[in-house]
Amino acid sequence: MATMITEECINCGACEPECPNEAISEGEDIFIIDPDRCTECVGHFDTEQCAAVCPVNCCVTDPNNEEAEAPLLARAKVVHPLKIFPADYPSRFRQ
């Protein structure tokens, strides 16, 4: 995971239904992202969908957990084993 939700989260829930990987859930205090499911939206969108809808900009790249495109796509394939990803799959690394 390289996307995280910071303490500025206001628990609005806008992000949860936007995630293509069902990586977001309501935590004890704020919404949280499952690092085993987040792909930074690689394979599905060219921008992180949670960050795009967050009204307080609290979905951010985790500076302590940067990941390259290849492992993120590999994770997308694990999360969606039946999905065929085209060669020109969407990715924030390809903008």
- Cite the beta strand spans of the chain per DSSP E: 3-5, 24-26, 31-33, 59-61
> For residues 12-51, which are near ligand SF4 according to CB under 6 A?
18-19, 21, 23-24, 33, 38-41, 48-50
For ligand SF4, how many residues bind (rule: CB under 6 A)? 15
Q: Which residues, 6 or more positions from 62, have their beta carbon under 8 angstroms from its beta carbon?
A: 1, 2, 3, 4
The verdict on 79 binding ligand SF4 (CB under 6 A) reads no
**Residues near ligand SF4, by CB under 6 A:** 3, 18-19, 21, 23-24, 33, 38-41, 48-50, 59
